[in-house]
Structure 1
Amino acid sequence: MNVTIWHNPRCSKSRETLELLRKEGVAPAIREYLKQPPSKAEVEALLDMVGGDPGALVRDGEPEFKVLKKKKAELGKADIVKAIAAHPVLLQRPIVVSGKRAAIGRPPEAALAVLK
């Protein structure tokens, strides 16, 4: 099973999710998205795999979000893709990807859904 975690080692939830995956016997590929920023196509793919509200992928407490001068609910998919590709810090973390499925690890246990 190929599993990738979009990871920020400075984030406690990201570290907890990585530890949880390892306890489940999964050795995920680790994508440190702040060091390897996603392309627009990758952000679009993540949005499609996570499904639901595209705004769930955006960290609206970051200073980079405030310069958008919009509320999260006002952002369309194209706005979100553009913003995250330009400012990867806006990507909600962690995200665990397996096959064509992805889940945000908030709480960390939520990420286990993609393993089933």
Structure 2
Amino acid sequence: MSAITIYHNPACGTSRNTLEMIRNSGVEPDIILYLETPPSREQLLTLIAAMAITPRALLRSNVEPFARLALDNPALTDDQLIDAMLAEPILINRPIVVTPLGTRLCRPSEEVLAILPNRQQAAFSKEDGEAVVDQQGNKLVK
């Protein structure tokens, strides 16, 4: 079992880039395909608390269930938002990465660099060609 876990959607470029940066640090993480194996209520609450964010901050607003369920309503409680994410896991923003150094929603993908225990082992560029890490494993400043 790895010390790093990623809640991953392979159809998402940000999630794929994040996964590759984890691998570029020399670690093969535990990969949870959260659309197929959604977190339990307890797991989701634990992740939200560890990230020190609100349920609304984890909510994806650019997917169909968001509008259908009227999740932009500010009167909805945290419990109602959690219920919606559990019923429709596509509403959970991703990727979420858990490491010994913290838990983070990695948007943009290079957010993962702050919580990886190991340095990057080689240069890394995102799928779109944007260079993120140099040959020495240092994060490039934007």
Counterpart of 1:47 in structure 2: which amino acid? I
C-alpha change, 1:72 and 1:97, in structure 2 (3 Å) is farther
Question: How many Å apart are 1:14 and its aligned residue?
Answer: 0.4
Root-mean-square deviation (CA), in Å? 1.9
Runs of 4+ in 1 over 6 A off after TM superposition: none
Question: TM-score of the superposition, structure 1-length normalised?
Answer: 0.88
Tell me: higher relative CO, structure 1 or 2? Use CA pairs within 8 A at least 6 residues apart.
Answer: 1
Counterpart of 2:79 in structure 1: which amino acid? A
Question: How many Å apart are 1:101 and its aligned residue?
Answer: 2.9
Give the aligned partner of residue 27 of structure 1.
Answer: 28
Question: How many Å apart are 1:55 and its aligned residue?
Answer: 1.7
Determine what percentage of the aligned residue pairs are the same residue. 38
Give the aligned partner of residue 13 of structure 2.
Answer: 12
> In structure 2, what is the Cα distance between the partners aligned to 1:6 and 1:19?
13
- Provide structure 1 residue ranges, at least 5 long, that are not aligned to the other structure: none
Contact 1:55 1:73 (8 Å CA) reproduced: no
SS in 2 for 1:26: coil
Give the aligned partner of residue 76 of structure 1.
Answer: 77
Give the aligned partner of residue 67 of structure 1.
Answer: 68
Q: Which has the higher Rg, Structure 1 or Structure 2?
A: 2
Question: TM-score of the superposition, structure 2-length normalised?
Answer: 0.73
Contact 1:60 1:72 (8 Å CA) reproduced: no
Between Structure 1 and Structure 2, which shows a larger proportion of helix residues?
Answer: 1
Question: How many Å apart are 1:25 and its aligned residue?
Answer: 1.5
Counterpart of 1:45 in structure 2: which amino acid? T
Give the aligned partner of residue 94 of structure 1.
Answer: 95
Aligned length: 116
Counterpart of 1:39 in structure 2: which amino acid? S
